[in-house]
Amino acid sequence: MTTAERDVHTSHIAAVRAFNRRYTRVIGVLQGGLLGTEHSLTEARILFELANFGAAEVVDLRRELDLDAGYLSRILTRFEDKGLVARRRSETDGRRQVVELTDRGRTAFAEVDALTQHQIGELLRSHSPDTRTRLVGAMHTIERILDPHSEPDPAAVLVREPRPGEHGWVIARNAELYAREFGWNGDYESLVARIVADFLNSHDPQRERAWIAEYDGAPVGCVYCMRENDDTARLRLLLVEPSARGLGVGSALVEECLRFATAAGYREMVLWTNDVLTSARHIYQRAGFELVESNPHHSFGVDLVGQTWRRALDFRADPDR
């Protein structure tokens, strides 16, 4: 990353600050007590941790919530005075304190938790299910960008048929990503547009199919299975968004393509790619494809080495074909 790329534009800083101001107002964290209770946001967070994860060493609680030691100690003292928590020495290290909720503390948490559930429910109620899904996806995107150590969930990847408008997304994202990552020019966008248009205009749904990979409510990848001839299917336009790499999206799309082609009666699958697409080539190799041909060429404004990969399919004759 260059120095210019590391410099943060003031408009981006202003946008994040504006979002923070609006969001804290919307969820009411600027009020003296959270949701009309006597507890601050920090106090409610401590109750949540202890209610959901059980007794904790104070030092671990402080580290998890990134709180000043003195500030946390004062809160726990207030909680103790109100009978919400109990503190004791650790059984394994007498120098450490363990804190846990009392029955009264669990009751206090249940009150805050119920009010929070109601508030968020009311916040979402006026929006459609699709809008709610987009909102949750956007929140997960913020988490992944601002917390690079957060663990993605590969099980949350959904492979499905494209929805209206998503073939256009395929064209746009192919053009944008390959231009940014490899410097390819508009010739590539034109090629992708022709492939997608041909698919939409004349594909046989029994022998040709497209898939979108969805994560957090948004498309993050695609692939197409198209007829080469009666015995051969061609895999085309495999793409995985940078934000979703490492989730197994590419492998999931290729496996879906292979399953469909096998069920459709093809004997083999072929694909064409370029040697600079290292991640894609690794996916093809893991899926059992073998490199059968390489040729240098000048396309999309750059010098490339094109590659043809093939894989035999578990052919089963269909008596109806």
H helices of 147-295, in order, are 166-182, 186-202, 249-263, 278-286
92 or 180, greater pLDDT:
180
The residue-averaged pLDDT of 286-300 equals 96
Evaluate if residue 30 carries a pLDDT over 70: no
Residue 37 confidence class, pLDDT cut points 50, 70, 90: confident
* Mean pLDDT confidence for 56-69: 90
Predicted TM-score (pTM) of the model is: 0.61
> Which is nearest to 58 in space by CA: 42, 43, 40, 76?
76
Q: Give residue-wise pLDDT tens across range 222-234.
A: 999 999 999 999 9
Q: What is the pLDDT of residue 154?
A: 66
Q: What is the mean pLDDT of residues 76-101?
A: 90
Mean pLDDT rounded to a whole number for the chain: 88
Exposed e or buried b for every residue in 44-83, given b needs 16+ CB within 10 A?
Answer: bbbbebbbeeeebebeebbeeeebeeeebeebbeebeeee
Question: Is the predicted pLDDT of residue 32 greater than 70, yes or no?
Answer: no
| Confidence band for 319, pLDDT divided at 50, 70 and 90 | very low
Model confidence at 118, pLDDT cuts 50, 70, 90, reads: confident
Residue pLDDT, tens place only, 304-318: 999 999 999 986 545
Provide the strand spans (E) within the chain. Answer: 56-57, 85-89, 97-101, 158-160, 209-215, 218-227, 232-240, 268-274, 290-299, 302-312
Give 321's pLDDT tier (boundaries 50, 70, 90).
very low
- pLDDT above 70 for 1: no
Q: Which residue has the higher pLDDT, 115 or 308?
A: 308
Per-residue pLDDT band for 294 (boundaries 50, 70, 90) equals: very high
| pLDDT score for 316 | 57
For range 184-204, the mean pLDDT: 96
pLDDT for 59 beyond 50: yes
Q: How much is the average pLDDT of 174-190?
A: 96
pLDDT in tens, 250-259: 999 999 999 9
CA distances from 287 to 215, 220, 254, 277 (A): 22, 20, 7, 16
Whether pLDDT at 320 is above 50: no
The position carrying tokens 């609006």 is 22
**pLDDT for 150:** 65
Q: Could you tell me the pLDDT band of residue 36, with boundaries at 50, 70 and 90?
A: low
Q: Among the ranges 21-30, 86-95, 311-320, which has the highest mean pLDDT value?
A: 86-95
